[in-house]
A and B are shown apart, each in its own frame.
Chain A
Amino acid sequence: MAQSIAFYVLSTFILGFAVLVVTTRNTVHAVLFLVLNFLAVAALYVLLTAQFLAVIQVLVYAGGIVVLYLFVVMLVNLKRPPEDHMAPQRHNWIGFGLSALVLVELGAIIGYGAVAPAGPVGAQTSDLALNNVERVGMLLYTDYLIPFEVASMLLLVAMVGAIILAKREL
């Protein structure tokens, strides 16, 4: 019961803030809504007993990546908002078409869920919930060591790339 309430409240927040991110004209406000959205998602992760992921979501996403966005928004001091530009070649109907497609998919999910309901969810006191950090860490450093190293290389490359892009002269 409590879980259901939490889920619906959080889902409302997530979707609501996501809509605001996409629709707000003021970019700084959009960034703020994105932060709130991520915080709500983090709360959803806690609900799914993925505490480590929740904390990482806040630390990396909300505290790191979005700060970058905010920086860029503040550095990019626009004289006229980009939405004022005329762009005859834009086809907004593609967007609506695609979202219609997504709606169809949504219907399919609902239909499938109704036909074949998912099985019972694992207990909250399971090992994955209690020793979340250890379990995830174990997987990360044993079975997924190579992807992990590749990801770290990716981050390194991104860091070098970002520095080179942003620096004025080398």
Chain B
Amino acid sequence: MIDTYLIPLVKILFVLNATLIGVTYMVLLERKVIAWVQVRLGPMRVGPYGILQPIADAVKLILKEDITPTRADKWVFTAAPIIVMVPALITFAVIPFGPVVNLFGRQVPLYITDVNVGLLYIVSVASIGVYGIILGGWASNSKFPLLASLRASAQLISYEVAVTMTLVSMIMTAGTLSMVKIVESQYDQHLWFIFVQPVAFVLFFIGGLAETNRAPFDMAEAEQELTGGFHTEYSGMRFALFFLAEYANMIVVSSVATTLFLGGWLAPFPNVGWLSFLGYVPSWMWFLLKTFAFLYVFLWVRATLPRYRYDQLMRLGWKVLIPIAIANVVVTGIVKVLF
């Protein structure tokens, strides 16, 4: 009973809360990192060094009036932020934060579940998130959000193809769809897959930026062009959901990248004898460190690069990334067959 219901429940609650807190602090981290890049301090008022800022933000957003435009489609308008948020959260079900560890005398795996279609599950759940953006823009019954949601959905759909293609080459390398087994396969090969599949890593990173609508591909919410994009008409808690979902998606992409390319919970060059001292750092710590490094790159890119134009982005996706991804799959296959 404890093993089947209680432990998973505790894990789910823990991951859910950790994710939500992580997401809110992600916002603070972004503001801080970008502030440091731009030689300023960022939030400093609420708490020491502004560490209570997310709480203040949350309180403010909850207390704000939640406006629904009169001409909006009320049901869809309300549902859209939820549709965006839920897939971002349920993806964490299959992400392994660590191996099976001994906790209070009980063998507990540091992941919620391990399904044999784990990677496909993540991709398919992520594809549901598009609805929130399309519908949010459509239901607002306003022109800028509509343009933005068309942009966003075209962008997401085209980048999904490239990302999925890179994942195919990763599946071929690892020989499994299960997230845990992918990490274990890296353990067996003594190597993070980033060294095996560097091209796929770059493609996944670019595709991940585009899929999460992050700079330099953030034209769906480019406030300079479309006044905030698909969430122009949103306010209060519903806006906060959109906002948090974006950061949750960033964490998802970072965790997936960590698992696939950076060896998940593994130390660098795992399973090598003389490097075993790296094992003193707990496995989940490695995972968090790598995810954090990945997230930092996201923020760094946002602070540095200008924004692509919509048609250039589409051209990049269809004419550059997808062909390279397909070529990568072919090359991986040939190498697999030959060696």
Contact = CB atoms under 8 A, between A and B. Distances in A.
Interface residues of B, number: 26
B121 interface: yes
Contact of A51 (B73, B115, B131): B115
A59 B160 CA distance: 10
Interface in A58-105: 58-59, 62-64, 67, 70-71, 74
B130 A32 contact: no
A67 B157 contact: yes
Contacts of A26: 73
B116 A131 contact: yes
A55 B124 contact: yes
A74 B138 contact: yes
Q: How large is the interface on A (under 10, 10 to 19, 20 to 34, 35 or more residues)?
A: 20 to 34
B123 A32 contact: no
A62 B75 contact: no
A7 interface: no
A74 B150 contact: yes
Given A67-B131, A67-B134, A58 B124 contact: yes
Given A52-B117, A70-B131, A131-B116, A59 B138 contact: no
Contacts of B75: 29
A35 B126 CA distance: 14
Interface of A: 26, 28-29, 32, 35, 39, 51-52, 54-56, 58-59, 62-64, 67, 70-71, 74, 130-133
28 contacts: A28-B73, A28-B76, A28-B138, A29-B75, A29-B76, A32-B131, A32-B135, A51-B115, A52-B117, A52-B120, A54-B117, A55-B120, A56-B124, A58-B124, A58-B125, A58-B128, A59-B127, A62-B127, A63-B128, A63-B160, A67-B127, A67-B130, A67-B134, A67-B153, A71-B134, A71-B153, A131-B116, A132-B116
